[in-house]
Amino acid sequence: AKDYELRQYETAKWVSTVIRGETQKEAMRQGFWKLFHYIQGKNEKEMKIDMTVPVTCLIKPGCTDFKISFFVPFEHQDSPPQPTDLDVFIEERKAAAIFVRSFGGFASPEKYAEEAEVLARILRNRGQPFHEDFFYTAGYDSPFKLFNRHNEVWYFKK
């Protein structure tokens, strides 16, 4: 469709952390740095791992827990090094069909929420069943990239 796409993602491992009781913006900042330290070698193998995109954040409206995640690079999918920070963990996300809406610019929590609401409205209007109780934000760019930025919101298909 012109205003969203449906993607099929395979089962994959992500390195994640949950930040509780902060604003979404602050949770993203804290979570990013915890995960960045992991890929910089704060893991059992003291191994540096390439940065990947997207950086995702699980949003449950009305909840102040945010799960921030980095995709584990393909070469480490079979056996990612275990984190040494107790707040960081490896999770396996099962294969899923995901509705995706993309947008540009610098994405604020408000902009992500607005785009998620637009996507939810489109999906409801088209009779597409999806899990409405949560969505993911996905950011693809360094904060230093000024132009042609790429952001997404994801809803999982039922």
Q: What is the distance in angstroms between the CA of the first residue and the CA of the last residue of the chain?
A: 18
- Would you write out the chain's pLDDT as a tens digit for each of its 158 residues? 789 999 999 999 999 999 999 999 999 999 999 999 999 999 999 999 999 999 999 999 999 999 999 999 999 999 999 999 999 999 999 999 999 999 999 999 999 999 999 999 999 999 999 999 999 999 999 888 999 999 999 999 99
Burial of 150 (0-12, 13-18, 19+ CB in 10 A): middle
Phi, psi of 92 (to 5 degrees): -105, 120
- Contact (Cβ atoms closer than 8 angstroms) between residue 66 and residue 18: yes
Distance CA 44, CA 77 (A): 16
Domains along the chain with CATH numbers: 5-156 (3.20.80.10)
- Contact (Cβ atoms closer than 8 angstroms) between residue 76 and residue 49: yes
